[in-house]
Amino acid sequence: MTAIELDGLERRYGERVALAGVSARVEAGQTLAVLGANGAGKTTLLRVLAGLLRPHAGMARVLGAELPAETWKLHGRVGFLGHEPLLYRELSGRENLAYHARLHRLNGSRVEEALAAVGMDRRADEPLRELSRGMVQRLAAARAVLHEPPLLLLDEPHAGLDPAAAELLEPLIGRASGRTRVLVTHDVEGALAEADVALGLKGGRQQFAGRPPDAERVRELYR
Amino acid sequence: MYAKGLKSLSIASVVAVAAALALVFFYAPLDADQGFVQKIFYVHVPMAIVALCGFVAGGLMAIKHLRSGDRTWDMRSYVAIHLSIILGVGVLATGAIWAKASWGHWWVWDEPVLVSFLVVFLLYCVYYPLRFSIDDPERQARYSSVFAIAAGAFVPLNFAAVRMAESFTHPRVLSQTGGDLPGQMRLTFLACLLAMALLFVTLWKLELTSKNASMQLKRLRAKLLAEADARAAA
Amino acid sequence: MIGAAVAILRKDLRLELRTKESVPAMSLFTVTCFVLFHFGLDRDSLDGELAAGVLWVTLLLAAVIGVTRLFAAEREQGGIDGLLLAPVDRTALFLAKGTALFVFLLALELVALPSFGLLLLGPDLRDALPELLLVLLLADLGLAAVGALTAALAAEARARELIVPLLLLPLLVPLLIAASQASEPLLRVSPSTEDLGRWLGLLALYDVVFLLLSIAVFDYLLED
């Protein structure tokens, strides 16, 4: 089953091009690495795939939902781990996850499992503003997969994480999770090693998409 | 798209305005109490009526925009509201002149229609800062439409409330905004109303034509730049 | 949808209890305003029209503070994305935020009314009471609906703190008229309930119009 199908996807910001000519195909369970310099449009693409931004032209089908007409079909089926943890600093890890569980109509027991899975069960009742960046990131990852989404959208998921924590999250958000993943990262070597499909953006325009190319082509994105 | 009929509409407006002015100065009788200054009523009231209709029309066009997603409706709504705000300045100015002539003060709270118009005007003044402080063009259009709808619904509510309040504290001063006008005055008034309405629609079409043209120009320019970019990269 | 609205509401109430930002600020502002009015009007006690006017204008200005902060937690911390990605009806957000504002206003009035009775009101506040509470309830409902809508409209605007008062206050004029006209006879030296029905009717009409309108347009404010 094809998880993501894009053809000539475009998104403008007024007269400026944010995304143009984006075409790719990702099968279920595959990993798509999105590469490019800062401001190339990687985060925009991620938000379009999440249904948070609407495409202005071209075709986009995510998990069988035509965007933008059927965006509502994506609700609750995407796990989004972006730059913002999407958690409230004044609330504790447990309270934050319980809130999200209720929004997604999940059983409360999932919260405890999630806390244990990211190793935060002992500090689950401390407000987030007292926790380190790495701990908050772990809780954010827990939030992203709480509802067991078939599609994961990850924007630099290992930012702020030490190697031990990164390893802890592997079964949740890594290749081992078996979910379809779209990964935005500056770790080019790591991404190319993991990716089934790679997409390169420069100034919003797609430079390549398909089997991961050699390092030279990737470096061109950053010039 | 909008230029069709613009010429005949402009001509009709000029004719209507000329005719209305002629009626005001040569046909309408001089008011016994207030004298010549009363004639400002022929400008003030039609302006107010057309401005209010403009606001409500802006709200209706905004509904069409939200339901269809077609941004041309938002542009139409914006221009209608924009012109009505400008007319609104005129309404308040002529209202002040009339108040000074009739009651000796530049502003009076006795006239409920004028008072509620002030509140409506203050509300619509926020349309610009709201609109232009949102950077994303699509979001800007959507939020402006929501505002236009809320404000449009607010107008009748406000008028009802102010009228209820004023009739309580100030016994209604007879104003000639109603239908009890002697024949000559009524004809002049209707002519002015028609002229003002035609003028509004003409200006509306004119501004839309000009905006449309400059948008198309921008689009062509962007396209040319993009093609130049692509050729340079290849 | 109700489940989601309740979840969002609980989260907002919990945040307010923990951070204690909006309600104490609104309350302090209200009491300060009463003091300002004492000096500005050079009066020790008010009754009737003046009392109603001072009370309601102050409450509306305090409400502006609450409205400006209504989406603050989303903007500064949680982010609205979490909500947008969930299978939640957008109307649930309106209901939750509106109810939260309603609760904050009630809490504010628990402080504002006694302070008003103490500082500025000539006649005994208790004489106005059961009817005045009814006026407050209906007015708070309208305030909550219009406030939530305004907060969402201004949420994406750059000059948010400026736009909220400019947008909210004219919209509240009919509510102000109805509420103060209804309160005026109640706050007289010899209170009466004349015309109460007519002004409560206007308040109710205002509430219904803006509740329905806000529910209808709220969806368009969140999608992108």
Q: Are C16 and C106 in contact (CB under 8 A)?
A: no
Token pair recorded at residue A205: 């325009």
Q: Does C82 touch chain A (CB under 8 A)?
A: yes
Angstrom distance (rounded) from CA A106 to CA A146: 9
Residue from A10, A15, A47, A221 to probe the interface with B (highest B Cβ count within 10 Å):
A15
Q: What is the pLDDT of residues A141-200, one digit of tens each?
A: 999 999 999 999 999 888 888 888 888 888 898 888 889 999 998 888 888 888 899 998
Residue B181, pLDDT score: 65
Angstrom distance (rounded) from CA B145 to CA B147: 5
Query: Alpha-carbon dihedral of residues C162, C163, C165, C167, nearest 10 degrees?
Result: 160
Chains in contact with B, where contact means 3 or more Cβ–Cβ distances below 8 Å, are A, C
Q: Are B176 and B152 in contact (CB under 8 A)?
A: no
Q: What would the CATH number be for the domain defined by A1-77+182-223? A: 3.40.50.300
Residue B32, pLDDT score: 65
Q: Do C87 and A82 touch (CB under 8 A)?
A: no
Residue B4, pLDDT score: 73
Q: Do A88 and C85 touch (CB under 8 A)?
A: no
Residue-by-residue pLDDT tens, chain A, 223 positions: 789 999 999 988 877 888 988 999 999 999 999 998 888 889 999 999 999 888 888 999 999 999 888 888 889 999 999 888 999 999 999 999 999 999 999 988 999 999 999 988 899 999 999 999 899 999 999 999 999 999 999 998 888 888 888 888 888 988 888 899 999 988 888 888 888 999 988 888 888 888 888 878 888 888 7
Q: Do B136 and A13 touch (CB under 8 A)?
A: yes
Chains in contact with A, where contact means 3 or more Cβ–Cβ distances below 8 Å, are B, C
User: B71: distance to nearest CA of chain C, Å?
Assistant: 14
- In total, the C-beta contacts within 8 angstroms joining chain A to chain B are 8
Cα maximum dimension of chain C? 57
Q: Do B164 and C224 touch (CB under 8 A)?
A: no
Angstrom distance (rounded) from CA C177 to CA C57: 10
Q: Does A88 touch chain C (CB under 8 A)?
A: yes
Question: ipTM of this model?
Answer: 0.87
Q: What is the pLDDT of residues B175-211, one digit of tens each?
A: 544 445 677 778 888 889 999 999 999 999 999 999 9
Q: Does C17 touch chain A (CB under 8 A)?
A: no
Q: Are C30 and C55 in contact (CB under 8 A)?
A: no
Token pair recorded at residue B112: 């409920």
Q: Do C224 and B122 touch (CB under 8 A)?
A: no
User: A86: distance to nearest CA of chain B, Å?
Assistant: 22
The candidate with the shortest Cα–Cα distance to A131, out of A171, A173, A91, A84, is: A91
User: B105: distance to nearest CA of chain C, Å?
Assistant: 24
All residues of chain B having their beta carbon less than 8 Å from the beta carbon of residue C198 are 164
Distances (CA, A) of A153 to A201, B29, B105: 17, 76, 66
Q: Do C11 and A99 touch (CB under 8 A)?
A: yes
Q: Do C77 and A89 touch (CB under 8 A)?
A: yes
What pairing do the DSSP bridges indicate for beta strands A31-36 and A180-184?
parallel
Angstrom distance (rounded) from CA C33 to CA C44: 14
Angstrom distance (rounded) from CA A151 to CA A181: 6
Give every CB contact of residue C69 below 8 A, 6+ residues apart in sequence: C21, C22, C25
Q: pTM of the prediction? A: 0.89
Nearest-CB residue to C78 (from A52, A86, A105): A86
Residue A114, pLDDT score: 93
Q: Does A84 touch chain C (CB under 8 A)?
A: yes
Angstrom distance (rounded) from CA A87 to CA A84: 8
Quote the mean pLDDT of chain A.
Answer: 89
Residue B174, pLDDT score: 42
Axis-axis angle for helices C173-186, C196-222 (nearest 10): 150
Q: Are A217 and A209 in contact (CB under 8 A)?
A: no
Q: Do C81 and A82 touch (CB under 8 A)?
A: yes
Question: Rounded mean pLDDT of B52-60?
Answer: 95
The string of DSSP codes covering C13-57 is HHHHHHH--HHHHHHHHHHHHHHHHHHHHT-S-B-HHHHHHHHHH
User: A102: distance to nearest CA of chain C, Å?
Assistant: 6
Q: Does the pLDDT at position B171 exceed 60?
A: no
Distances (CA, A) of C23 to A12, B176, C60, C132, C165: 41, 49, 14, 21, 17
Backbone phi, then psi, for A64, in 5-degree steps? Answer: 80, 0
Q: Do C170 and B126 touch (CB under 8 A)?
A: yes
Nearest-CB residue to C159 (from B129, B135, B165): B129
Quote the mean pLDDT of chain B.
Answer: 85
**Positive or negative CA dihedral for C102, C104, C107, C109?**
negative
Token pair recorded at residue A155: 């924007």
Q: Do C4 and A102 touch (CB under 8 A)?
A: yes
Angstrom distance (rounded) from CA A34 to CA A40: 10
Q: Does B160 touch chain C (CB under 8 A)?
A: yes
Nearest-CB residue to C170 (from B119, B129, B142): B119
Number of domains composing chain C = 1
Q: What is the pLDDT of residues B79-109, one digit of tens each?
A: 999 999 999 999 999 988 888 887 788 888 8
Q: Which residues of chain C have pLDDT under 70?
A: 78, 224
Residue C89, pLDDT score: 86
Q: Are A89 and A128 in contact (CB under 8 A)?
A: yes
Residue A40, SS3? coil
Burial class (CB in 10 A: 0-12, 13-18, 19+), A69: exposed
Token pair recorded at residue C73: 């937690």
